[in-house]
Amino acid sequence: MSIAVPRRILPVIVLSQFAGTSLWFAVNAVMPDLQRAWGLPAAAVGMLTSVVQLGFVAGTLVFALLMLADRFRPQRVFLVCALLAAALNACVVLAPGRFDLLLVLRFGVGFLLAGIYPVGMKIAASWYRQRLGAVMGVLIGALVLGTALPHGLRALAGDGAAAAGDLPPWQWVVLGVSALAALGGIATAWLVPVNPDAVAGARMTPRALALIWSDRRLRASVFGYFGHMWELYAFYVLVPLVLATRISGTAVSAAAFWAIAAGFAGCVAGGLLVRRFGSASVAQFQLATSAACCLAAPLMLAAPLPLFMVWLLLWGTTVVGDSPQFSTLTAQNSPPAVVGSVLTFTNCIGFAISVVSIELFVRAAQVWPLAALLPGLALGPLVGLWMLRPLLR
């Protein structure tokens, strides 16, 4: 007989995911400050984001190959990774002007995020096997809020210069995010017990790579996810640049927070609509809507400010709202014996695709106007919609 799920489990995991994943874009939120203080080039934001993504890919593969979350209590893995990632993130304030060291620190944070985001999902799945689709929506929504949080903190820190002996506002943001991530790790280790009914994960097998291509339904969900990843993180990196065409100062950070945080509503609403419409239809609608937002960019960039903000909020809502459904579809369409391997390889390839799109669009933004560039983000969603068709018939 399965044991009852304590009521505190989901709120603690959600808040811990929110806290831990706030490390993801901690440096992006203070990039204008670093560029002024350290003389970093405009393309630095793309490189720093890409190196986090590459660290996450490397970390995910290492954690899966060594089965760390199965060999050790996953709550402890989460705690250790949260504390180490928080420490590496805090070290940014000790590396003034050292771009090479900053890249190393961000790679390390990305590597350790593989012990926070996927391991948090594993802990939640061990307790909520029956309601996983809805739970995934809330958990990925928490990741979205964590991604947005540093922008919100930067807006709250204000534009004022630091007094003599005080830390500049951007350093308070970095240290605040680190403290929050550490608290998230402690909360999970302290308040979330191990489910005695949890099933141990299977060893990762390369056979899953062949299945991703050969199984028609699995290929549909996986390549839909790849199209989604082409757009998602490039959008997150470009949001401040898009906003800077219309507003300035800390208003950019505040608006970036809301544009990214809107994805929480997309994830949660998608999870609630799954019972009625199914994961494939929900993913299709959100992917098509975000593609339309990409294509509408030339018009919206010149639109009145209220309409411009509505467009960005809609884009932020739908750009990530399909993510929980792609994860659910991939898990459902994978053979049970290799579902862990399929999800690991799918995430790694998806994040590698995000590196390509981030580098491409950030570098192109230095040469081309955003109105000509942003419609190119629709390429991924359009390919994803085409590949998703077998699951909609």
Report the C-alpha gap between 144 and 136 in whole angstroms: 12
The Cβ-side half-sphere exposure at 56, using a 13 Å CA radius, reads 28
- The per-residue pLDDT for 201 is 63
- The per-residue pLDDT for 344 is 86
Report the C-alpha gap between 49 and 135 in whole angstroms: 27
Question: How many other CB atoms are found less than 10 A from the CB of residue 158?
Answer: 11
**Which are the contacts of 153, defined by CB distance < 8 A and separation ≥ 6?**
29, 172, 173, 176, 177
Residue with tokens 């590597």: 111
Residue 23 is encoded by which pair of tokens?
């490390």
- The per-residue pLDDT for 374 is 97
Pick from 229, 352, 365: nearest CA to 297: 365
**Which are the contacts of 359, defined by CB distance < 8 A and separation ≥ 6?**
46, 47, 50
Report the C-alpha gap between 236 and 221 in whole angstroms: 23
* Sequence-ordered alpha helix ranges (H) in 67-131: 68-71, 74-90, 99-113, 117-127
- The per-residue pLDDT for 107 is 97
- Length of the chain counted residue by residue: 393
Cβ pair 333, 223 in contact under 8 A: no
- The per-residue pLDDT for 163 is 43
Pick from 77, 96, 94, 78: nearest CA to 34: 96
**Which are the contacts of 44, defined by CB distance < 8 A and separation ≥ 6?**
31, 34, 35, 99
- The per-residue pLDDT for 199 is 65
Report the C-alpha gap between 331 and 364 in whole angstroms: 35
Pick from 136, 131, 122: nearest CA to 75: 122
* Sequence-ordered alpha helix ranges (H) in 91-194: 99-113, 117-127, 132-157, 169-191
Cβ pair 144, 265 in contact under 8 A: no
The sign one gets for the Cα dihedral 378, 133, 342, 186 is: positive
- The per-residue pLDDT for 240 is 95
Residue 37 is encoded by which pair of tokens?
């203080």
Pick from 203, 181, 192, 190: nearest CA to 81: 181
pTM score: 0.91
Pick from 15, 18, 5, 17: nearest CA to 128: 5
Q: Which domains does the chain have, with CATH numbers?
A: 1-195 (1.20.1250.20), 203-393 (1.20.1250.20)
| Residue-level pLDDT, tens digit, the chain, 393 residues | 456 777 888 899 999 999 999 999 999 999 999 888 888 888 899 999 999 999 999 999 998 888 887 788 889 999 999 999 999 999 999 877 788 899 999 999 999 999 998 888 888 877 776 666 677 788 888 999 999 999 999 999 876 555 445 778 889 999 999 999 999 999 999 998 887 766 666 677 777 778 888 889 999 999 999 999 999 999 999 999 999 999 998 899 999 999 999 999 999 898 888 888 888 999 999 999 999 999 999 999 999 999 999 999 999 999 999 998 998 888 888 887 777 788 888 999 999 999 999 999 999 999 999 999 999 999 999 999 999 999 987
- The per-residue pLDDT for 3 is 66
**Which are the contacts of 337, defined by CB distance < 8 A and separation ≥ 6?**
202
Q: What angle do CA 309, 312, 313 make, to 5 degrees?
A: 85
